[in-house]
A and B are shown apart, each in its own frame.
Chain A
Amino acid sequence: MRELEERPKKGRWFGKDTRFGYLSIVPALILMSFFSAGPLVYALALSFQKYTLGAVERPFVFLENYQKLVESKFFAPSLVNTLIFTVGAVVFVFLIALIFTLILNEKFRANTWVRLALLIPWAIPEIANALGWRWIFDSNWGVWNGIVVYGFGIFNSYQSWLGNPNYAMGTILVPHIWKEVPLATILLLAGISTIPKSLYEAAKLDGANVLARFRRITLPMLRPIIQLVLVYETIQGITSFAYVFVLTGGGPGYTTTTLSWLVWMTSFSFGDFGQGSCVAVIMSIIALLLTLLYFRLLPTKEFGAVTVR
């Protein structure tokens, strides 16, 4: 506290310190620009060009690509699907993770094993996860069908989980949620452990029951972590690609075509890099707008130890 009073952050010290400072951050900044801001600008440029795979010339056609894209029959569905997927992912991941957190917060002997088990879904590469679930959801021999038909008797015959337009979107959400929940749980558990027990004791004395304690102490105290988890899961939801890629290929029809799949489809299936760049630009704008929205909704948000306003 004394530090902040007598040493405000904007301490200037010219000479060796500044040189040392800039020199040490420039390489990292260059790397980041080369793979974030740079490509984004380039993508913008490409989106204005007619660029097909293998073409020698790339003439500028400006907004023609965008026009073609917006008028296509897969653009609107891709927006809707991305929305559905992201909202579904964020909501389910958060709720399930919250429930898990409350259960696992209680101390008991096997705790350490469960915490270890939480790390496993995080450790698995996304694509390997997709591989596993692809087989689980196989319409002819998959174990999921086995369970719902022979185990619980919900259905009479094997379903095509990935080929049925009604089930496809829900089906690709499953591996995503499965993989994201543990990390969210770990973060929420860490957050909950920072809430002083004395707050709960005081609340009990004040007559608060379990629900009230949850609403008025746990949730508010967890706010920063919840914000972090929501932002992170939103990004994960928007950028999710592997499951569509492996499990459904955007189909059946365009029922699981998300924006990220659209980038791939237009670029590598249709060979139209120009249009692919359009989707990329639109996707980036949406992502950046969403995060700006998050930051605006929360007056000051602590990003680690940096305060963002």
Chain B
Amino acid sequence: MVLDSIKKRSTLKNIVIAILSIVILVFLLSPLAWMVITSLEEEALMFKRPPVVLPNGPFFANYQFIWVRFVSEEALEWGYVLPGSLPGVLAEARGMVQSVLNSLVVASCTTLVCLALGLLAAYTFAKVPIVGGTKFLFYIFVSRLLPPIAILIPVYTVFKTIGLLDTLASIILIHASFAMPFFVWILFVHFKSVPQSVEDSARVDGCSRFQVLTKIMLPIAKPGIIAASIFAFMISYNEFIFATTLSQSAASRTASATVSALAFSIGRYSVPLIMAGGIFAILPPIIIVLIFRKTILEGLVSIFRR
């Protein structure tokens, strides 16, 4: 069927579209590709005009350095030094793996919090008629419109006073509040799309309100729940402002914070190593997107299902 619509168009139009699509692909992938290429270069080659592209083949030492350092402290004592790198301890790059792990933990916990609080709320908004329900739903949506940076200082101050400042818990809570509106929105749309009659049928068939939720609504909304969870995870993982500000020590730093530190080190340390660190941080979300691309795309599209 696709072939038919291709045949219908003139060959010229086909070629034009193909070229334009390639242009778009280049647009979409080149910055990331350049980061990857840079991370695979030898450091000495950074200082060339024009820039070179892998003249001596991919050079994985940077990644090894980051990974090995995480795996064992002794690796440093093996005399593992990057060929040609500037001397000095690059704490940020070494700590990248730990930071990524922290980010994964934070993002997972954020997702769990959203599931715990948002799932039931979304169902109620969609199906249970309560007074003022629309207003509360609206309130949750509108909260997203606030610039996050505007509440940075108050949140920072409060957490400092409570003493939660350098913990992952504080980051998890604030991430959950960022993710909650999207989470509730996606699930709200999904629950609303289930016809009332299916729910009625279940109630007549012997389900209490709660059983309707567990036996009928949840299974039906499963794809939506997965999509919403992925979104919550991504929102948390990619968040930068609060993750950086609310963590002080290396132990509680998330990937975003470490990448930020890396970004400021460009003049001082090996660029390929820095890029490798960046790629490390990018890997988890990219892997998630590759695995769940269909669910994510459907989740985004489902916003328009009415």
Contacts and interface: CB of A to CB of B under 8 A. Distances in A.
Do A's and B's CB atoms come within 8 Å in the complex? yes
Interface of A: 3, 7, 9-13, 16-18, 20-22, 24-25, 27-29, 31-32, 34-40, 42-43, 46, 100, 103-104, 106-110, 113-136, 138, 140-143, 145-146, 149-151, 158, 175, 178, 182-183, 186-187, 190-191, 193-194, 225, 228, 235, 238-239, 241-242, 245-246, 260, 263-264, 267, 273, 276-277, 280-281, 283-284, 287-288, 291, 302-306, 308
Contacts, number: 318
A200 B6 CA distance: 18
A114 B289 contact: no
B222 interface: no
A131 B278 contact: yes
B50 interface: yes
Interface string B76-120: 000000000000000000000000000000000000010011101
B276 to A, nearest CB: 11
Given A117-B28, A125-B237, A287-B147, A305 B282 contact: no
Contact of A124 (B25, B128, B285): B285
Interface of B: 2, 5-6, 9, 14, 17-18, 20-21, 24-25, 27-29, 31-32, 34-35, 38, 46-51, 113, 116-118, 120-121, 123-126, 128-131, 133-134, 136-155, 157-158, 173-174, 176-178, 180-181, 184-185, 188-189, 192-193, 196, 209-210, 234, 237-238, 240-241, 255-256, 259-260, 262-264, 266, 271, 274-275, 278, 281-282, 285-286, 288-290, 293, 296-297, 300-301, 303-304, 306
Given A10-B129, A116-B290, A125-B281, A283 B143 contact: no
Contacts of B29: 117, 120
Contacts of B143: 32, 35-37
A127 B282 CA distance: 10
Contacts of B134: 9, 306
Given A107-B5, A108-B14, A246-B260, 16 more contacts: A10-B131, A17-B130, A20-B124, A21-B124, A25-B133, A35-B178, A42-B154, A46-B153, A103-B20, A108-B17, A114-B24, A117-B29, A126-B238, A134-B266, A149-B49, A241-B240
A11 B21 contact: no
Chain A CB count within 10 A is highest, among B29, B129, B306, for: B129
15 contacts: A9-B129, A17-B209, A24-B124, A25-B133, A40-B146, A40-B150, A107-B6, A120-B32, A125-B259, A145-B49, A241-B240, A246-B264, A277-B154, A283-B147, A305-B188
A304 B150 contact: no
Contact of B304 (A118, A132, A191): A191
B17 A263 contact: no
A279 to B, nearest CB: 8
A115 B297 contact: yes
Given A28-B121, A119-B293, A239 B147 contact: yes
A95 B117 CA distance: 38
Nearest to A307: B134
A194 B304 contact: yes
A125 B150 contact: no
Nearest to B26: A117
B254 to A, nearest CB: 10
Given A37-B143, A143-B34, A284 B150 contact: yes
A25 B141 CA distance: 14
B184 A22 contact: no
Contacts of B21: 103-104, 108, 110, 114
Nearest to B292: A119
B150 A124 contact: no
